[in-house]
Amino acid sequence: MKYTISHPTKNIKGSISLTSSKSESNRALIIQALCSEKFEIKNLATAQDTITLNQILNNQELPSDKQQFFDVGAAGTSMRFLTAYFATKNGTHILTGSERMKHRPIGILVDALRELGAEIEYLEQEGFPPLKIIGKHLRGGEVEIDGNVSSQFVSALLLIAPEFQNGLVIKFKGEVTSRPYINMTLKMMEEFRVYGQWHENSISVSKQNYHRKSEADYAYQVEADWSSASYWYAIAAVSEHADLTIHGLNHKSLQGDSIVANLFSFFGIKTEFIADGIRITKNRIKDEHFGFDFSDCPDIAQTIAVVVSALNIPSLFNGLNTLRIKETDRIEAMKVELKKIGTEVEILNGNSVKINSQTINCEVSVNISTYEDHRMAMAFSALAMKLNSISIEDPEVVKKSYPNFWQDLKNIGFEVIEVE
Buried b / exposed e over 1-22, threshold 16 CB at 10 Å, is: ebbbbbbeebebeeebebbbbb
The single residue of 49, 257, 299, 394 carrying the catalytic annotation is 299
* Active site annotation includes 299: yes
Tell me the C-alpha distance between 295 and 318, whole Å. Answer: 7
Strands 141-146, 168-173: pairing kind: parallel
Q: Is 388 left (phi over 0), alpha (psi -120 to 50) or beta?
A: alpha
Residue pair 81/159 in contact by the 8 Å Cβ criterion: yes
Inter-helix orientation angle 226-238/301-310, to 10°: 0
- Between the alpha carbon of residue 234 and those of residues 68, 202, 269, 274, 401, the distances in Å are 43, 35, 9, 20, 17
170 alpha-carbon distance from chain centroid: 22
Contact present, 110 and 121 (Cβ < 8 Å): no
Round the CA-based radius of gyration of the chain to a whole number and report it. Answer: 22
* CB-CB contact of 4 with 419 (8 Å): yes
Residues 6+ apart with CB under 8 A from 184: 23, 24, 27, 155, 254, 255, 256
Q: Which residues are catalytic?
A: 299
